[in-house]
Amino acid sequence: MSRKNESSVLYDAPGPKTLRNERIVSIVFLTLLAAGAVWLVLWMIDLGLFDDRWAVFTDPPKGQSAEVVWTALGKGLLTTLKAAAIAAPLALALAFVLATLRTSRLKVVSGPAVAVIEFLRGMPVLLMMFFGLLALGLPALWAVVFGLALYNAAIVAEILRAGLVALPRGQFEAGTAIGLTKWQTLRMIQLPQVIRLMLPSLISQFVVLLKDSSLGFIVGYEELLRTMQLNYSFFGDQYRFPLFIVVLAIYLAVNITLSRIAVIVERRLSSKGGGATQLKDAGDGPEVPVQKP
């Protein structure tokens, strides 16, 4: 059954009246949204938020050049990406270990893994950053990486575990049937499929990791948000709003880009059958995974 025919069985196609009502609701909603946006802009104009304070990006005060401001913001973005780039692979590596232990049949192995995952999931990221900074004496960068890596490792471990559970049982049996150990089967057969299957979810979680790096501002790490604070503290509080808007736009641009990458990856994987393998009956023997052509 094709996807189109399958979807038509699940629900009735909307009729002319329903389509007309949907168009009316959409037009009303968009009109209200546009009116709200116009009111917000007019309100901000009345508050004087669009005066010469925006000159901080073209002709900043105190004898500074515009290049200094943009260079500082660029460095702030690079330090934000640096913390995320270090924390992401560490979180992924630790997640592999936790997911492997979590799926063990031995309670003495899976039990502590479950406890560690639940503990890390329940801990606030900022609290773990402070623990790394104050208790362990880590520099600000590594305190941020410490908190991001541990928290996201627990989340990614659950994503990987869900992918392992979703794989057909025949995948594991096929590996053991050809003489592979459990670890070899996991590493060579199961994990590559899980990563490809769960890649959109993994990318989405790394978007969350990037956004959480802004918490480094509180522990003194000079990421993008901290750079904004240092700039308006130097130039004056009247420049806080334009700096905030530009930093907000930078965050949105980076995060939306990563989110779009996740959507594109998901669509490509869906068009290829989600990266899953088809199982072909091998008579009385174990089911053997056969890749799609």
Under 8 Å CB-to-CB from 242, ≥6 apart: which residues?
A: 53, 54, 56, 57
Q: Sign of the C-alpha dihedral, residues 125, 130, 132, 136?
A: negative
Return d(Cα 52, Cα 64) in angstroms, integer: 16
pLDDT along the chain (293 residues), means of 10: 48 77 90 91 80 83 84 91 93 89 83 91 92 93 94 90 75 71 72 75 85 89 88 86 90 86 75 48 42 43
Residue tagged 């890596």 (tokens): 149
Residue 255: what pLDDT?
85
Residue 272: what pLDDT?
64
Q: Which amino acid is at 293?
A: P
Residue 105: what pLDDT?
78
Q: How many helices (H) and strands (E) does the chain have?
A: 11, 2
Q: Residue length, the chain? A: 293
Work out the angle between the directed axes of helices 191-212 and 140-166 (0-180°, nearest 10).
Answer: 140
Residue 190: what pLDDT?
76
Q: What does the DSSP assignment read for 250-268?
A: HHHHHHHHHHHHHHHHHHH
Write the DSSP symbol of residue 273: T
Residue tagged 């500082």 (tokens): 72
Question: What pTM value is reported for the model?
Answer: 0.74
Q: Where does CATH 1.10.3720.10 sit in the chain?
A: 55-290
Q: Which CATH superfamily is domain 55-290 in?
A: MetI-like (1.10.3720.10)
Write the DSSP symbol of residue 132: I
- Give the count of beta carbons closer than 10 Å to the beta carbon of residue 50: 13
Phi (first) and psi of residue 248, to 5 degrees: -60, -45
Q: What's the Cα-to-Cα distance from 27 to each of 30, 115, 251, rounded to whole Å?
A: 5, 51, 30
Residue 173: what pLDDT?
67
Phi (first) and psi of residue 278, to 5 degrees: -90, 145
Alpha carbon dihedral 280, 283, 284, 285, in 10-degree steps, equals: -50
